[in-house]
Amino acid sequence: MIITRASLLKRIQIQSVKRLTTVSDKVENVGPVVFHKLGGDDRGIAVYGLNSPRDKNALGFDLLQSMKEVNQLIREDTKISVVILHSLVKGIFCAGANLKERFKMNDDEVARFVRTLRNTFIEIEDLPMPTIAAVEGVAVGGGLELALACDIRIAAETAKLGLVETGRGLIPGAGGTQRLPRVIHPNIAKELIFTSRIVSGKEAKDLGVVNHVVPQNSSHTAAYERAVGVAREIISNAPIALRCAKQAINEGVQLSIKDGYEVEQKCYEKNIPTQDRREGMLSFIEKRKPQYKGH
């Protein structure tokens, strides 16, 4: 079956029945993923909310299918400058794999499912605009792997993060063995994976796993609110330049620095013909705030 943009929008709009600028225990009649674009001064920010309270946002078939659909919508939307990925389930970002589903699979089914899970996270990693993970609560196993697929991570002090798979007879299979050693020192990443250790948001910040840590508030939205603040800083900048910068970093960091310079040049030249580049220079000369249009 061919999934069209119109059919995806219809499904997501049916799910997004409430304005979701804050986390709420009262969200009802929505699917496992809620997608919402902010308006007004926050135009350009998209909110990607995990919402499977019964399973604690465990990564099962339904959640993954919804995530893949939302990934496709976001990728095609040139009006989105930054995405915030968070949870609508109090105390939980993502509890990792749905082991009840996993236990019923045979070996071949497990291998296929893990590949699908990894590819879904790669889709998030490869979204053209900056992404921010706001972690309020538990993010273990695949939950931390999901956060690691985002460009920026913000955690509440009380969050719990860890790659716990070796303690369950597994290894991180959705990119964790590759992303974590690229985020922090490989020796520290090895220790965290070998021990299945769970660390607090503060410890995660000290280790470099997250960019920012914030005290949790009474509504359990502290990480999300900080993420909105960072997103507001991002949306003041040129959308195409943001995408080009992300592409240059993501491609270049995997290469030698000399090859990385060529990637940077390619991305720079991609941005040269844009009206936004001209607007950026004019606004500086005219000493005014730039009005970027994304073209």
What are the chain's domains? Answer: 33-236 (3.90.226.10), 239-286 (1.10.12)
Q: Is 142 a catalytic residue?
A: yes
pLDDT tens sequence across 225-256 = 999 999 999 999 999 999 999 999 999 999 99
Q: What is the pLDDT of residue 13?
A: 44
Catalytic residue among 58, 95, 97, 149: 97
Q: What is the pLDDT of residue 257?
A: 96
Question: If you ran DSSP here, which 8-state letter would residue 37 be given?
Answer: E
Asked if 248 and 267 count as a contact pair (C-beta separation under 8 A), the reply is: yes
CA distance 102 to 106: 9
Q: What is the mean pLDDT of residues 267-278?
A: 93
Residue 134 tokens, joined: 């706001």
Q: What is the pLDDT of residue 18?
A: 35
Sheet containing strand 138-140, edge to edge, reads 92-94, 138-140, 160-162, 199-200
Asked if 95 and 138 count as a contact pair (C-beta separation under 8 A), the reply is: yes
CA distance 82 to 237: 11
Q: What is the pLDDT of residue 67?
A: 95
pLDDT tens sequence across 177-233 = 999 999 999 999 999 999 999 999 999 999 999 999 999 999 999 999 999 999 999
CA distance 22 to 79: 22
Q: What is the mean pLDDT of residues 124-143?
A: 97
**Residue 47 corresponds to which amino acid?**
V
Q: What is the pLDDT of residue 97?
A: 84
Mean pLDDT of the chain: 89
Q: What is the pLDDT of residue 24?
A: 36
Catalytic residue among 60, 139, 143, 145: 145
Q: Is 28 a catalytic residue?
A: no
Catalytic residue among 49, 155, 156, 165: 165
Give 59's strand partners.
97
Q: Is 286 a catalytic residue?
A: no
Residue 98 has a CB neighbour count (10 Å cut-off) of 21
Q: What is the pLDDT of residue 21?
A: 41
Residue 193 tokens, joined: 């994976």
pLDDT tens sequence across 83-114 = 999 999 999 999 988 878 888 889 998 999 99
Asked if 77 and 224 count as a contact pair (C-beta separation under 8 A), the reply is: no
Whether the per-residue pLDDT at 10 is higher than 70: the answer is: no
> Does the predicted TM-score (pTM) go above 0.85?
yes
At residue 90's C-alpha, the angle toward residues 16 and 29, to 5°, is 30
Residue 1 has a CB neighbour count (10 Å cut-off) of 4
Q: Is 145 a catalytic residue?
A: yes
Catalytic residue among 44, 141, 142, 143: 142
Q: What percent of the chain lies above the pLDDT cut of 70?
A: 90
